Amino acid sequence: MPQLALSPGSSAPLGATPLPGGVNFSLYARDATKVELCLFESPSSPEPFRVLVLEGETYCTYHYWHCFVAGLSPGQVYGYRVHGPWDPSKGLRFDSNNLLLDPYGLALVMPEGYRREPSQPSAVAMRSVVVDPSAYDWEGDQPLRRPSRDTVIYELHVRGFTADPSSGVTPQKAGTYGGLIEKIPYLKDLGVTAVELLPVFQFDPLDAPGGRPNYWGYQPISFFVPHHGYSARPDPMGPLDEFRDLVKALHRAGLEVILDVVFNHTAEGNADGPSFCYRGIANSDYYLLGEDQSTYADYTGCFNTLNANNPVVRRMIRHSLRYWVEHMHVDGFRFDLASVLSRDETGEPSPSPPILWDIDTDPVLAGTKLIAEAWDAAGLYQVGSFVADNWQEWNGRFRDDVRHFLKGDPGMADKVAQRLIGSPDIYGYENRAAEVSINFITCHDGFTLADVVAYNGKHNGANGEANRDGSDDNASWNCGNEGATDDAEILALRLRQRRNFFTLLILSLGTPMLGMGDEVGRTQMGNNNAYCQDTALSWFDWNQLDTATDLRRFVRELIAFRMRRDVVVDHQSFTLTELLGHNAVSWHGVVPNQPDWGEESRSFAVSLTSISRRYRLHAMVNAWWQPLCFGVPQPDAGDRPWRHWIDTSSPGPDDISPWGSGPALLGSEVEVGPRSIRVLMVELPPAPA
- Residue 81: what residue type? R
- Per-residue H/E/C for 467-485: CCCCCCCCCCCCCCCCCCC
The alpha carbon dihedral of 479, 484, 490, 492 has a sign of: positive
The answer regarding whether domain 576-683 maps to CATH 2.60.40.1180 reads yes
Cα gap 26→14, rounded to integer Å: 5
Cα gap 545→519, rounded to integer Å: 9
The whole-number pLDDT of residue 578 equals 63
The whole-number pLDDT of residue 210 equals 83
Which of 330, 508, 377, 529 is closest to 444 using CA atoms?
529
The whole-number pLDDT of residue 644 equals 97
This model's pTM is above 0.85: yes
Which of 121, 131, 117, 133 is closest to 38 using CA atoms?
121
543-575 pLDDT per residue, tens: 999 999 999 999 999 999 988 754 444 445 666
Active site residue 336: yes
Cα gap 660→643, rounded to integer Å: 7
Residue tagged active-site, from 242, 373, 518, 557: 373
Q: Where are the domains of the chain?
A: 5-129, 576-683
The whole-number pLDDT of residue 681 equals 95
What per-residue string of b and e applies to 655-681 under the rule 16 or more CB within 10 Å gives b? bbbebeebeebeeeebebbebbbbbbb
Block means of pLDDT (10 residues each) for the chain, 689 residues, are 90 98 98 98 94 97 98 98 98 97 97 87 94 97 94 98 98 98 98 98 93 95 97 94 98 98 98 97 98 96 97 98 98 98 95 97 97 97 92 98 98 97 87 89 98 98 96 97 98 98 95 98 98 98 96 97 62 61 83 97 94 87 98 90 97 94 95 98 81
669-688 pLDDT per residue, tens: 999 999 999 999 999 888 76
CATH number of 5-129: 2.60.40.10
297-319 pLDDT per residue, tens: 999 999 999 999 999 999 999 99
Residue tagged active-site, from 155, 164, 207, 336: 336
Answer whether 72's CB lies under 8 Å from 2's CB: yes
Answer whether 380's CB lies under 8 Å from 339's CB: yes
Apex CA 376: angle with CA 371 and CA 382, to 5°?
Answer: 60
The whole-number pLDDT of residue 566 equals 44
Question: What residues does 259 pair with on adjacent strands?
Answer: 197, 333
Sequence-separated (6 or more) residues with CB below 8 Å from residue 468: none
Do the domains spanning 5-129 and 576-683 agree at the CATH topology level?
yes
Coil vs helix vs strand at 87: strand
The whole-number pLDDT of residue 574 equals 61
Apex CA 41: angle with CA 40 and CA 42, to 5°?
Answer: 90
- H/E element, 587: strand 585-588
**CA dihedral of residues 498, 503, 509, 515 (deg, nearest 10):** 30
346-379 pLDDT per residue, tens: 999 999 999 999 999 999 999 999 999 999 999 9
Answer whether 400's CB lies under 8 Å from 475's CB: yes
Active site residue 182: no
